[in-house]
Structure 1
Amino acid sequence: MFEWPVRVYIEDTDAGGIVFHARYLHFMERARTEWVRSCGVGLRAGLADNISYVVQRLAIHYSVPARLDDQLLVTAEPIAFGRVWMDFRQRVLRAADRALLCEADVRVACVALDSGRPRRLPDNMRNLLDTYVQSPERTNN
C-alpha cells in the first residue's frame, strides 16, 4: 500500500489547532497523485492528451482529529476500476502511532479536459490499475 507523508501546518487548522475537515481531501488528493507519479505515469502528458481526472464519489469517515504539527501518513490503494473510473481506499494515519484518523472511499472518473465528458481510462492507467487491483470481478459502471 502506498503511503505519502504529510506534516500538518497552521494553514491546515482552525483556531484551535485541529485540522479543518476539508484539508483531509487535499491530503488524499496528493497521495493519489504521488501514487500515480511513483508508478511512472505522467499527469502532464495526460493533460496534453485532453485527459483529466475528477472525484465523482466520496464516502468519508472522521475518527480522531489531526492537530497542528502532527506528522501524518496518507495512503492510496486502488481497489477497483471500470472503463472510465477507478476506486481508491484511502486512510490518514498519525505517523507516531499509526492511529487511524480518517478513512475514505474515493471514485475518480476520467474525463475529457475540454468538455468534461467521461472518457475511457488511457491504456497506461488501465495497465497500472490491472497490476495493483487484485479483484477478478470488475463492473463497467
Structure 2
Amino acid sequence: MSKAQGLHRYLRTISRKLVCYKDTKQTLLEGLEQELSVYSSLSYDELCQEIGNPTQVSAQLMENISEQEIAYMKRRRKMILCTVSICFVIAFALAVFYFVHAQSVMRGDFYVQEHNTVESDTFVSSGTLDDN
C-alpha cells in the first residue's frame, strides 16, 4: 500500500463513521483532508499512531454536527436497514414457497378431480322459454 493510499483509507474509515448529511460529510472531510495533507507520506497505521484512531477523530468531528441532523440520519439509516431486511425476508419466503411448490409438482403430490358428465338428448337453457 502506498503512502497516499494510507491517507485515503484513513479518511474513508472516518467517513463511514460519520452520521450526517452528505453535504456536511463532504465539507468536514475536505477540511480534514487539507489539514492532514502534511501527513500524506504516512501509512494508515502511522496515521493512526500520529493523529489518533479514526473512531476518535470521527467522534470529534461529530461534535460539530447538530443533534437534529444526527437524529434524522440515524432514523433514516434504521428505516433503510428495516426496508432491506424486510425485502430479504420476503425474497426468502418466496424462494422457500417456490422450492416447496416445485418439489411437490416434481413428486406429483397433487390431486386432480375429474368430473364425468353424461349428456342426454334434452336441451336445457339458462334463459326462459317462449311458447310461441
TM-score, L = length of structure 1: 0.27
**Whose helix fraction is larger, Structure 1's or Structure 2's?**
2
Larger Rg: 2
**Whose strand fraction is larger, Structure 1's or Structure 2's?**
1
TM-score, L = length of structure 2: 0.29
